[in-house]
Structure 1
């Protein structure tokens, strides 16, 4: 068992926000920090270093589906503790790897633990707060965690100039150890009387309940489709910026960071908006702005006008909306399944991060040597996300009419 709750921090204090933000940032940091070192890793390990990203995402998606029901049954702290231990072990394994097979294996192992951070941070917020307050808190967490994808590539790029890529994974091991220690100060947000008492098999059956929950799936698919588009940019942008437009690799990180600054800015704004407007209305507005930006991007890349400036501008607007879309869609989805928030958060995370696999496959299959492939993938799935937002509204209206008739 864990130490006495006397050591726990207050759930309304800055330390609580910082720890949850750091837990949510573990995933981004685990991938983004070593991106500048991938060419060197591929040479040293004599293999395709991109497999380390694929392996991490696969492990991340699958493991969440196990940890979710476990957290509903045993509480949030125990899975977080075990997860951080696995993350540290996986990081050390990556640092000691000498070939591509070894490091891909340890990246999968690392993901088994890393996934507990963002998944259970979301669940803990839902345990503690009502939907509006939860959206406010998630916007705050996203604002803080956005530092990771900005600092990660910049830090990794500097480290690789003075030391080997192994040191990056040693650093991740140290960060994981600090996160492990911080878990002891987190309160248990799911009291025993609210935990799922069914067997693990019964808890896993909750996924069927979630998949057949129309309201939950509308919000979840809205977020998933948006992230397919987002990962299309994350995966395709190195080719578009560096290879196609000839941007210096040292400046690529700044172009990427430019988008994250937009996410942080909208997250700050969203903290106020959630108290003034319905979450569904905010989500609908944000996703339609993102869809418009993605369609403009697809048209520009397809017709070959606007150049890199238009692409950078359209992508910036697209990513800015993430500050609203992620917070509102997550809270609304969790609100549709409050009694199994752990499983719900796990399924949201599995689909959200698994969307990156879809993006990478589509880019590999349909790449034509121009930015057009990235453009049409982003537009297609952002429009699909907007369609889900319309479906969500229709479902809500239908349920209201049914209630009035009854």
Structure 2
């Protein structure tokens, strides 16, 4: 049987329940799986200028391939939640990875932008299986505080990907074309598939699986949408991720084209911000034990708002990289204190429908990311202002969503407590 305490003891597989892996083993497996997402997003960023020249389009058009990938993540997650609740965690995950591998190979041989954008959308439909099911597996084993701690561990493992991915991509470009990047992603997907097949036990026993009709599934999603707390926390996490995706989408142009940072040096700026995210996520493991999940992410949202406001002012006043980079670092790093906690707090009440809750949470968050990435592309004006404006807007929305709600006023004529 799975444990719902903040820690659990490894147990061998029995007839009554699945094998429960150790916390460290689970963090390594799910972290490697979760790293596939940022690897897929970040590895091809240094190739934006070369890809644009190869396909005969501008960089703003190439940025839309990131938006289509995020849209695929948003759409695909809705399917994997109910599938994971009905068929268990492993089967939908392995099928999704197979689709991801096939789409990555198609990306490598496309000859025009619409075909690449379509292949990226399909690639996301497969890749998002890991995002949904990794959150679901964590919820299978942990309560709110334990989940927050494990999500922080996952960010440590998967945080290596945003550091290495652009660096790997830039090195690939030294010896091959942008197409080789997608071949490398297909190889990474294949490695993930074998890792899951060989090491991740099923965490949802057959007797706990739900075989609901489409109408029942829609009712489940409807019930989740009506949960005000779940909705606010999910979208707050979504706007935090949206600020990151605005940065991811806009940073190749801002740094490589506008500030003339070479494609080989750009990954070091990107990696420094990712290190900040990792460090904050590990600080979060200590903070949630002492301050609690809610207090930590509310404080971090305020820090993010101040950092993004400073970043916007530095661009508006043309202060240069010396002022931009520290504000950008703090703004991105604050996500390490926000995302694990809003995810844990949003998922905590939903043990029976963890797959569907994870799917809807992911869809809402990726929709925010797709909108932010698209906005950066549409607003492109040859400056850094579109990127930082979208980031600041996301930070403002997050601060509104996590603000404490005012208690409802007492009914007219009722006695006030004395």
How high is the TM-score relative to the length of structure 1?
Answer: 0.90
1:280-299 correspondence runs (5 A): 280-299=294-313
- Measured after TM superposition, the shift of residue 5 of structure 1 is 6.1
Distance 1:117 1:229, change over 3 A: same
1:29 corresponds, among 32, 39, 44, to: 39
Q: Which residue of 2 aligns with 1:111?
A: 124
| 1: CA distance, partners of 2:172 / 2:19 | 34
* Residue 273 (structure 2) pairs with residue 263 (structure 1): no
- Measured after TM superposition, the shift of residue 9 of structure 1 is 7.2
Q: Which residue of 2 aligns with 1:55?
A: 68
Q: Which residue of 1 aligns with 2:254?
A: 240
* Residue 346 (structure 2) pairs with residue 333 (structure 1): yes
| 2: CA distance, partners of 1:314 / 1:385 | 18
Contact 1:241–1:252 under 8 Å retained in 2: yes
Q: Which residue of 2 aligns with 1:176?
A: 189
How many residue pairs get matched? 394
For the residue of structure 1 that corresponds to 2:261, the secondary structure is coil
* Residue 14 (structure 2) pairs with residue 14 (structure 1): no
2:154 corresponds, among 134, 141, 152, to: 141
Structure 1 gaps, min length 5: 400-404
Distance 1:382 1:207, change over 3 A: same
| 2: CA distance, partners of 1:160 / 1:246 | 17
Contact 2:242–2:373 under 8 Å retained in 1: no
| 2: CA distance, partners of 1:40 / 1:361 | 20
Contact 2:82–2:217 under 8 Å retained in 1: yes
1:79 corresponds, among 65, 70, 92, to: 92
1:200 corresponds, among 214, 237, 245, to: 214
Q: Which residue of 1 aligns with 2:5?
A: none
Q: Which residue of 2 aligns with 1:383?
A: 396
For the residue of structure 2 that corresponds to 1:169, the secondary structure is helix
Q: Which residue of 2 aligns with 1:402?
A: none
2:180 corresponds, among 140, 159, 167, to: 167
2:267 corresponds, among 253, 261, 277, to: 253
- Measured after TM superposition, the shift of residue 29 of structure 1 is 0.7
- Measured after TM superposition, the shift of residue 302 of structure 1 is 2.4
- Measured after TM superposition, the shift of residue 114 of structure 1 is 0.2
| 2: CA distance, partners of 1:157 / 1:371 | 22
Please say which of residues 380-389 and 280-289 is displaced more in the overlay.
Answer: 380-389
Contact 2:284–2:337 under 8 Å retained in 1: yes
- Measured after TM superposition, the shift of residue 343 of structure 1 is 1.3
Q: Which residue of 1 aligns with 2:105?
A: 92
After superposition, the C-alpha distances for 1:138-178 in whole angstroms (9 at most, x for unaligned) are 00000110111111111111112112333222222221112
Contact 2:80–2:92 under 8 Å retained in 1: yes
| 2: CA distance, partners of 1:322 / 1:112 | 25
| 1: CA distance, partners of 2:396 / 2:124 | 30
1:41 corresponds, among 23, 42, 51, to: 51
* Residue 282 (structure 2) pairs with residue 272 (structure 1): no
| 2: CA distance, partners of 1:39 / 1:368 | 17
After superposition, the C-alpha distances for 1:71-125 in whole angstroms (9 at most, x for unaligned) are 1222211110111111111122222333334333322221111001121101110
After superposition, the C-alpha distances for 1:254-292 in whole angstroms (9 at most, x for unaligned) are 111111000111111111112112101111011111111
Contact 2:148–2:285 under 8 Å retained in 1: yes
Contact 2:239–2:394 under 8 Å retained in 1: yes
Q: Which residue of 2 aligns with 1:352?
A: 365
Q: RMSD of aligned C-alpha atoms?
A: 2.4
| 2: CA distance, partners of 1:113 / 1:100 | 20
| 2: CA distance, partners of 1:326 / 1:10 | 25
For the residue of structure 2 that corresponds to 1:326, the secondary structure is helix
Distance 1:248 1:165, change over 3 A: closer
| 1: CA distance, partners of 2:252 / 2:109 | 28
Q: When you count helix as a share of all residues, which structure comes out higher?
A: 1
Structure 1 segments, 4+ long, off by >4 Å, are: none
2:136 corresponds, among 120, 123, 126, to: 123
Contact 1:69–1:204 under 8 Å retained in 2: no
Contact 1:26–1:118 under 8 Å retained in 2: no
- Measured after TM superposition, the shift of residue 398 of structure 1 is 5.7
| 2: CA distance, partners of 1:206 / 1:283 | 27
